[in-house]
A = this chain, B = another copy of it.
Amino acid sequence: MKWDDLAQEPCSVARTVAVIGDRWTLMVLRDCFLGVRRFEDFQARLGISRTITAERLKRLVDEGVLRKVRYQDNPLRFEYRLTDKGHDLYPVIMAVVSFGDRHYAGPEGQPGAGPPLLHRHKTCGCDFHPVMTCSECHAPLVARDVETRAGPGARAAA
């Protein structure tokens, strides 16, 4: 299987991974949710090759995750903003953050103990961590409690 075939798979993971599933794209998205919008800022924060920054931003725009918004006319300049579809990736990023906080921020040595960033929920005013719950009974989800079966969009195997 090659990269581009992923999007054709009858699998929601594959289709999503085809868009956001490489290292730098996820880092770009992290920065988007932190408010980064301009090419040079992505570039400076990521410290990767400009080629890749440009290519990844373009792909996210093509996929409708980001959109270019003109912020200056002369010379013509755009910034990159999350679309509604892009905002739907928030749970993905937060799930990743949550995993990282749990497993790579442990209070071991003195320096760097604890999570690098804290998240405050403005609605309730508390620092929180994200919890994935069932849309129906609202209980936290555990893999073992979930049964998977073919849905309407299934082909043969997936």
Residues of A near any B CB (own CB < 8 A): 1, 3, 6-7, 10-18, 21-23, 26-27, 30, 33-34, 45-48, 82, 85, 87-105, 112-124, 126-139, 141-143, 145-155, 157-158
Q: Which of B21, B98, B118, B133 touches A23 (beta carbons < 8 Å)?
A: B21
- Taking CB atoms, residues of chain B closer than 8 Å to A91 are 91, 95, 98-99, 130, 132, 141
B1 x A90 contact (CB < 8 A) = no
A117 x B148 contact (CB < 8 A) = yes
> Known: A113-B152, A148-B117, A150-B116. Is A99-B136 also a contact (CB below 8 A)?
no
CB distance from A48 to the nearest CB of B (A): 5
> Known: A15-B104, A100-B12. Is A158-B90 also a contact (CB below 8 A)?
no
A116 x B1 contact (CB < 8 A) = no
Q: In the complex, which of the residues A112, A118, A145 has the most CB atoms of chain B within 10 Å of its own CB atom?
A: A118
Q: Which of B17, B30, B88 touches A11 (beta carbons < 8 Å)?
A: B30
B143 x A134 contact (CB < 8 A) = no
CB distance from A42 to the nearest CB of B (A): 12
B117 x A145 contact (CB < 8 A) = no
CB distance from A156 to the nearest CB of B (A): 11
- Taking CB atoms, residues of chain B closer than 8 Å to A45 are 157
A-B pairs with lowest CB-CB distance, top 3 = A12-B100, A114-B152, A124-B137
- Give CA–CA (A79, B137) in the complex, Å: 34
CB distance from A119 to the nearest CB of B (A): 5
